[in-house]
C-alpha cells in the first residue's frame, strides 16, 4: 500500500515537473523572438576577412585571429568540408584558415556563452 502511494506521488511530481519545464521553454522562445525583432539587434554589418587558427572539439567551435577569439557559426559547413579535404576525418579539427563572414555584436556566444565575439562564415578565402 505504501509503495503504491509513493509511486502515485512520484508520477504526479514527474508530471508537474514536465509541465513546468515545457512552460519555461515556451517563455524562453518568446523572449528570443522578441529580441530578434529588436532594432538594436538587427543592425547591418559588412562581411570581413579573418585569417587565423580554427579549432573544433566538444563544445568548441572557435577561430583565433589577430589576438581575438571568435565563436564560429558555419551554417554551410564550409570548414568541415575543408578539413575533410585536408584528411581530418575525426571529430576534433585544428587548422589555419581564412574565412569571409559577418561578425556579430559582442555578447555571450557558444554553448557555455564563454565567447564574446562570433563570426558567421559565408565563404572561405584563399
pLDDT for 59 beyond 70? yes
pLDDT for 39 beyond 70? no
pLDDT band at residue 58 under the 50/70/90 scheme: confident
Domain 47-124: which CATH class?
mainly beta
Amino acid 1: pLDDT? 77
Handedness of CA 28, 30, 36, 38 (dihedral sign): negative
Amino acid 9: pLDDT? 80
Amino acid 17: pLDDT? 62
For residues 82-92, average pLDDT: 89
Lowest mean pLDDT segment, chosen from 12-21, 64-73, 103-112: 12-21
Amino acid 106: pLDDT? 85
For residues 78-105, average pLDDT: 92
Q: What is the residue extent of each domain of the chain?
A: 1-42, 47-124
Percent of the chain exceeding pLDDT 70 equals 71
pLDDT for 94 beyond 60? yes
* Mean of per-residue pLDDT scores for the chain: 78
pLDDT for 32 beyond 90? no
Amino acid at each position: 500500500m505504501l509503495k503504491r502511494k509513493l509511486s502515485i506521488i512520484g508520477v504526479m511530481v514527474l508530471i508537474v515537473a514536465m509541465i513546468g519545464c515545457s512552460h519555461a521553454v515556451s517563455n524562453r522562445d518568446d523572449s528570443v523572438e522578441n529580441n530578434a525583432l529588436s532594432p538594436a539587434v538587427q543592425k547591418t554589418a559588412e562581411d570581413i576577412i579573418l585569417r587565423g587558427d580554427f579549432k573544433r572539439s566538444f563544445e568548441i567551435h572557435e577561430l583565433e585571429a589577430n589576438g581575438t577569439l571568435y565563436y564560429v557559426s558555419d551554417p554551410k559547413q564550409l570548414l568541415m568540408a575543408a578539413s575533410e579535404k585536408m584528411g581530418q576525418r575525426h571529430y576534433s579539427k585544428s587548422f589555419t584558415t581564412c574565412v569571409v563572414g559577418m561578425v556579430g555584436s559582442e555578447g555571450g556566444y557558444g554553448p557555455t556563452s564563454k565567447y564574446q565575439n562570433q563570426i558567421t562564415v559565408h565563404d572561405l578565402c584563399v
